[in-house]
Chains A and B, each alone.
Chain A
Amino acid sequence: MSFALTIEPLGQMLTVEEGQTILEAALRAGIYLPHACCHGLCATCKVQVSDGEVDHGEASNFALMDYERDEGKCLACCAIPQSDVTIEADIEEEPDARNLPVHDYAGSVARIDNLTPTIKGVWLDLDRPMDFQAGQYINLRIPGESAPRAFSIASDPRDGSRIELNIRHVPGGRATTWVHQQLAQGERVQLSGPYGRFFVRESSHEAQQLSYLFLAGGSGLSSPRSMILDLLARGCTRQITLVNGAREAAELYHHDEFEALADAHPNFTYVPALSAEPEDSGWRGARGFVHDAAKAHFDNDFREHKAYLCGPPLMIDACITTLMQGRLFERDIYTEKFISAADAQQARSPLFKRI
């Protein structure tokens, strides 16, 4: 049977499957716990169990001493919960995380429209409003599929009763094919949420006077859009820049809305960039990939920012490299990338923790 795992000081609760280690469950949920050897020898992943029982598994007697076991320490990479468990781990506290509880929701499709030839906008009216933080995602049930699919919420969090999803059709993907070919107005849907730890670190922006930089590509625009709508609606006065990448002009969506926002808010700058727009199309904006456009716009100097990255893995990777060469480092870079158990296994160096 599965158990509930609460991770302090985040206050985040998640489910651990039978036989799963604490480390694996945390990484799957997108919560980074320090770790290195992954088989109980190095003690990098030592955490305090403040409530509940764990099986210490393969933990070495030199890495986890008897007195430490008595004090309730465990090695997260080996420890398998035997009951509901609360741990206290060496992770950053996030003053901006609201740690909202996850609930199941039902609703119906209020509207479904083509935003671009490959992306549909789906507006869902929920039977009761969902409290979520801008940048979070929901898990949507797909008929005939056992596992739900994750979609970021693209709308302003102040309206929790109608949420907007922007869904790209993945050729051959069953869930997105269902959304694109079958889902229709009025249809009932089941979902759960809100999930994820991708949100703006507003208190750090205020304390250190940092500007906001959003880098989005493909259908990765959802979370940044929700974040920007939220910030502007709440009267944020710091500089906000959105660099939004697409292949060609026809694939740009919410383009007019962002141009209007840029006109209405002097502290908001909108930089659309097209990577495969025909030369003769008359496009007067930036050409190239998101990281190229960002580098040109900021003249290769990203200091005094925090950056939020959302999009395909290759785009994220290129953007991180560009940001770091422009002197913005890991502590100021946030991505929506999930760390899966597979990532924990693969030969990846421990140089970076979150990115």
Chain B
Amino acid sequence: MDMPVAKKKLGLKERYALMTRGLDWQTTYQPMDKVFPFAKYEGIKIHDWDKWEDPFRLTMDAYWKYQAEKEKKLYAIIDAFAQNNGHLGVTDARYVNTLKLFLNGISPLEYMAHRGFAHVGRAFPGVGTRVACLMQSLDEIRHSQTQIHSMSNYNKYYNGMHSFPKMLQRVWYMSVPRSFFDDAVTAGPFEFMIAVGFSFEYVLTNLLFVPFVSGAAYNGDMGAMTFGFSAQSDEARHMTLGLEVIKFVLEQDPDNLPIVQRWIDKWTWRGYRVLTLVAMMMDYMLPKRVMSWKEAWEVYFEQNGGALFKDLARYGIRPPKWLDQIEFDKDHISHQAWSTLYQYGGASNFHTWMPSDEEMDWLSAKYPNTFDKFYRPRFEHWRDEQKKGNRFYNMTLPMLCQTCQIPMIFTEPGDPTQTCYRESTHKGMKYHFCSDGCKEIFDHEPEKYKQSWLPVHQIYQGNCFNPGVDPTAEGFKPLPVVLDYYGVGFGRDNLDFEGSEDQKNFAAWRGAATTNV
């Protein structure tokens, strides 16, 4: 008689391999290179896709079950927040402008990340990589949706959040985050993975999410804070995918090293430039501050990133280029950016203001070597002028950097009194840049970046007016028609916070909620 033998249980790795590997086949009536047309042109050499080590072992059924319960929890909290008029519990209505920045500039990028991962997931010949990209693609569309839902409650009460997909495409400063992602999704699949999977999701993600999520927590916004916790349990998976990608690519062939190094240099710089908006948000827009931009950079990049690049050195990877300039600029960029958005407060889709005395003292304490010397006098001057009824609005259009599309507001490495200008000539045309980093990125791929859709150029070329507008008409004023095209209501969605509808409504509603008048 046969004795029953207890079958040894499969380990998680074996189980996962049985469910996810060996799913594809060698094609016969079409060459594999035609089935995966983007897999080789970037020069990355992969010899053995089976060496890919699954960074997480998650199956679709487990994914749905887990995410469904997480989403249920999140929506219960969002509902409770909405029903309790949670928006009246935030520190003050200036806080809502950080949400406008996020909803207009970041949430649509989550959607672009969804598209990007879906696309590269299709493009990789390795099945393990494809499954990992599919999972992240699903995460990203969920993040986009849950962010929009978390913030939609504010749209009922506050201005400037009514047409974020259109604004991302049209409003001038939104071209900064949008062009970053357009650049990534139009790159090849390996570059996209280093750009978004590694550089953004691993190296820079904490600098984006911690300030917004902690900012929400510090300022009484439970809806946005809960979204953050819900997303964080996905971010860890994204980070391990980013790390696996870079290890896999570097281990496959020594020829991959210089290509990957160039991408790390490029995408760290590109990402850092986009984070200028976060720097400004942290130092100027949160009524209750979390930490300064400089402190965040030191903790999340210099310390954590330093440990990473020390380990990557074993593969021959060196830290990203231009770090010395970033190190110098961490004392400056948030002030330079806020000065710019303040001046162009007539052309944007949120409110700006000058910091109070107490806020200026906080800035002096956080930036002891630069704030009082370079920025406070300008801000005090603007505040005095505003008190006299001369709120300064800059009515000219700024020159933009061809690569990062930020106005040329940054200063020379080592000299905060000189604006930094760089230029290159390509096929007889001159292109302008804000920095050595942006110039070098252009010089390597001029045919790509010469196509940049620069909002200022587009306005001058007459491409930012609604149909029927006649710029040759007598007394033509461009600003109102451009704002019309943006979908921005002049004086309602923009200008100074002081005297805005948001400010008045919030005060009235909070008054109604806390008194019997």
Chain A positions within 8 Å of B, measured between CB atoms, are 8-9, 36-37, 41-44, 60-63, 65-68, 88-93, 320-321, 324-325, 327, 329-331, 347-352
Chain A, Cβ-Cβ closest to B247: A351
Query: In the complex the two chains form, is A351's CB within 8 Å of B311's CB?
Result: yes
Chain B, Cβ-Cβ closest to A65: B69
Query: In the complex the two chains form, is B233's CB within 8 Å of A90's CB?
Result: no
Q: How far is the CB of A67 from chain B (nearest CB, A)?
A: 6
Report the bound CA distance from A8 to B14 in whole Å.
Answer: 14
Query: In the complex the two chains form, is B13's CB within 8 Å of A90's CB?
Result: yes
Query: In the complex the two chains form, is A351's CB within 8 Å of B243's CB?
Result: yes
Q: How far is the CB of A352 from chain B (nearest CB, A)?
A: 6
B18 CB-CB contact with A under 8 Å: no
Given A349-B304, A349-B310: A62 in contact with B65 (beta carbons within 8 A)? no
Query: In the complex the two chains form, is A66's CB within 8 Å of B69's CB?
Result: yes
Report the bound CA distance from A329 to B311 in whole Å.
Answer: 13
- CB-CB under 8 A from B306, the residues of chain A are 347
Q: How far is the CB of A350 from chain B (nearest CB, A)?
A: 7
List 16 A-B residue pairs with CB atoms under 8 Å apart, sorted by A's residue number: A36-B236, A37-B236, A41-B229, A41-B233, A42-B235, A63-B233, A65-B69, A66-B69, A68-B66, A92-B13, A321-B314, A324-B315, A331-B53, A347-B303, A347-B306, A347-B307
Beyond A65-B70, A324-B314, 7 additional contacts (C-beta under 8 Å) are A37-B236, A42-B232, A42-B235, A65-B69, A89-B12, A348-B307, A351-B247
Report the bound CA distance from A349 to B285 in whole Å.
Answer: 32
B240 CB-CB contact with A under 8 Å: yes
Report the bound CA distance from A92 to B13 in whole Å.
Answer: 7
**Contact mask for chain B residues 68-91; partner A; CB cutoff 8 A; 1 contact, 0 none:** 011001100000000000000000
Chain B, Cβ-Cβ closest to A60: B229
Chain B, Cβ-Cβ closest to A10: B11
Query: In the complex the two chains form, is B251's CB within 8 Å of A44's CB?
Result: no
- CB-CB under 8 A from A331, the residues of chain B are 53
B9 CB-CB contact with A under 8 Å: yes
Report the bound CA distance from A65 to B240 in whole Å.
Answer: 21
Interface size class of B (residues with CB under 8 A): 35 or more
- CB-CB under 8 A from A36, the residues of chain B are 236, 239-240
Report the bound CA distance from A44 to B243 in whole Å.
Answer: 14
B313 CB-CB contact with A under 8 Å: yes
Query: In the complex the two chains form, is A62's CB within 8 Å of B70's CB?
Result: yes
Q: How far is the CB of A319 from chain B (nearest CB, A)?
A: 11
- CB-CB under 8 A from B57, the residues of chain A are 90
Query: In the complex the two chains form, is A351's CB within 8 Å of B229's CB?
Result: no
Given A62-B229, A88-B12, A93-B14: A43 in contact with B236 (beta carbons within 8 A)? yes
- CB-CB under 8 A from A88, the residues of chain B are 12
Q: How far is the CB of B476 from chain A (nearest CB, A)?
A: 54
**Contact mask for chain B residues 48-70; partner A; CB cutoff 8 A; 1 contact, 0 none:** 00000100010000000110011
Query: In the complex the two chains form, is A93's CB within 8 Å of B13's CB?
Result: yes
Chain B, Cβ-Cβ closest to A43: B233
Report the bound CA distance from A274 to B66 in whole Å.
Answer: 57
Query: In the complex the two chains form, is A320's CB within 8 Å of B304's CB?
Result: no
B456 CB-CB contact with A under 8 Å: no
- CB-CB under 8 A from B11, the residues of chain A are 9, 91-93
Q: How far is the CB of A37 from chain B (nearest CB, A)?
A: 7
- CB-CB under 8 A from A65, the residues of chain B are 66, 69-70
Report the bound CA distance from A329 to B312 in whole Å.
Answer: 12
Report the bound CA distance from A67 to B12 in whole Å.
Answer: 20
- CB-CB under 8 A from B12, the residues of chain A are 9, 88-90
Report the bound CA distance from A36 to B242 in whole Å.
Answer: 14
In the complex, which of the residues B70, B229, B233, B312 has the most CB atoms of chain A within 10 Å of its own CB atom?
B233
Report the bound CA distance from A252 to B308 in whole Å.
Answer: 37
Query: In the complex the two chains form, is B303's CB within 8 Å of A42's CB?
Result: no
Query: In the complex the two chains form, is A352's CB within 8 Å of B311's CB?
Result: yes
B230 CB-CB contact with A under 8 Å: yes
- CB-CB under 8 A from A67, the residues of chain B are 65, 69
- Nearest 5 CB-CB pairings of A with B: A42-B236, A349-B308, A351-B311, A9-B11, A349-B307
Query: In the complex the two chains form, is B314's CB within 8 Å of A320's CB?
Result: yes
**Contact mask for chain B residues 246-290; partner A; CB cutoff 8 A; 1 contact, 0 none:** 010001001000000000000000000000000000000000000
